[in-house]
Amino acid sequence: MRIFMGLAAVALFALAGSAGEWKLVWSAIWILGANIREAGWPACGEIDIMEYVGHDPGVVHANVHTRGYNHARGTGRGAWTRVPDAEKTFHVYAVEWTPEKLDFFMDDTKYFTLDNDKTGLDSWPFDAPQYLILNLAIGGAWGGQQGIDDAIFPQRFIIDFVRVYQRPGAGG
């Protein structure tokens, strides 16, 4: 069992192009349950450390998806924070993950916490192995709500570093 794990990533969405050119992209730093093939989504668990949807500039989101906490059923859990220079400046997006809760940060400011309600796997599948994904999506159900414009290409999602750490002496 993971006693304490943290993950921090520094991301810059684009060095070239205007915010309007980011309107149709959806960048994310996220963790997905390694048992997705067996359990399916969202039962495997998904931790969205950072999601940026270009048609909502200057805002980043943190979300958690499980069988019990699922936006498609109206039970989603998440939050957003304003980052006015998200498209121009590197920022640190992080999650601190313990058996009791997930804390989400942007530049050392916590803006969302999901507490483990201790009701079981439907709400907390996060004691099982997970893997990290960093991606820049074009379109999608959320990112593509306003269509796709090939004129915005090329685009870049630049990651300065990713750090995964465990509190000393925490075990696991």
- 5-12, strands of its sheet edge to edge: 109-115, 101-106, 91-97, 5-12, 158-165
Tell me the H-state helices in the chain: 36-39
Neighbouring CB atoms inside 10 A of 97's CB total 23
pLDDT of residue 154: 76
Confidence of residue 105 (pLDDT cuts 50, 70, 90): very high
Burial label, 138 (beta-carbon count in 10 A; 0-12, 13-18, 19+) = middle
Confidence of residue 16 (pLDDT cuts 50, 70, 90): very low
CA angle 101, 107, 111 (to 5 degrees): 40
- What span, in angstroms and rounded, lies between the C-alpha atoms of 139 and 146? 8
Phi, then psi, of 21 in degrees rounded to 5:
-75, -20
Report helix, strand or coil for 118: coil
pTM reported for the whole predicted model: 0.86
pLDDT of residue 11: 54
Q: Which residue has the higher pLDDT, 64 or 157?
A: 64
pLDDT of residue 117: 96
Query: Mean per-residue pLDDT for 56-73?
Result: 92
The four Cα atoms 53, 54, 59, 60 give a dihedral, to 10 degrees, of 40
Q: Where are the domains of the chain?
A: 5-146
Confidence of residue 4 (pLDDT cuts 50, 70, 90): very low
- What span, in angstroms and rounded, lies between the C-alpha atoms of 57 and 31? 23
Active site residues: 46, 51
Please name the fold of domain 5-146.
Jelly Rolls (2.60.120)
Cis ω for the linkage preceding 129 (within 30 of 0): no
- The length of the chain, given as a count of residues: 172
pLDDT tens sequence across 131-164: 899 988 877 677 666 667 777 777 778 888 888 8
